């Protein structure tokens, strides 16, 4: 967080602009990040038709074990 404004900052670059999205589980095929707010279908699952889908990359620091996730390649 920025001490002056209380705005969250990116630990990698210090940026303060973020895109909302959510993580969808794909069972044994892993997970993916989807842009935009979660919109549920009539069965309670996430609607996928208009979201942009991306793979998720995870990296852990060898020294401190901090884990960070990154949006990877677009899949649709």
Q: Tell me phi and psi for residue 29, to 5 degrees.
A: -90, 5
Q: What is the pLDDT of residues 50-74, one digit of tens each?
A: 677 788 888 877 788 788 888 888 8
Q: Between the CA of residue 3 and those of 23, 36, 64, what are the distances in Å? A: 29, 28, 24
The pLDDT tens digits for 13-56 are 888 888 878 887 888 888 888 787 777 778 777 666 567 778 88
Is 59 within a domain?
yes
CB 76 within 8 A of CB 52: yes
Q: What is the pLDDT of residue 17?
A: 83
Tell me, yes or no, whether 8 lies in a domain.
no
Q: With a threshold of 0.85, does the pTM exceed it?
A: no
Q: How many domains does the chain have?
A: 1
3 inside domain: no
């Amino acid at each position: 967080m920025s001490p002056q404004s209380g705005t969250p900052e990116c630990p990698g670059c210090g940026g303060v602009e973020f895109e909302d999205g959510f993580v969808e589980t794909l069972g044994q095929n892993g997970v993916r990040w989807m842009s935009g707010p979660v919109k549920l279908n009539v069965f309670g699952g996430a609607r996928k038709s208009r979201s942009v889908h991306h793979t998720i990359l995870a990296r852990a620091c060898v020294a401190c074990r901090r884990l960070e996730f990154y949006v990877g390649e677009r899949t649709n």
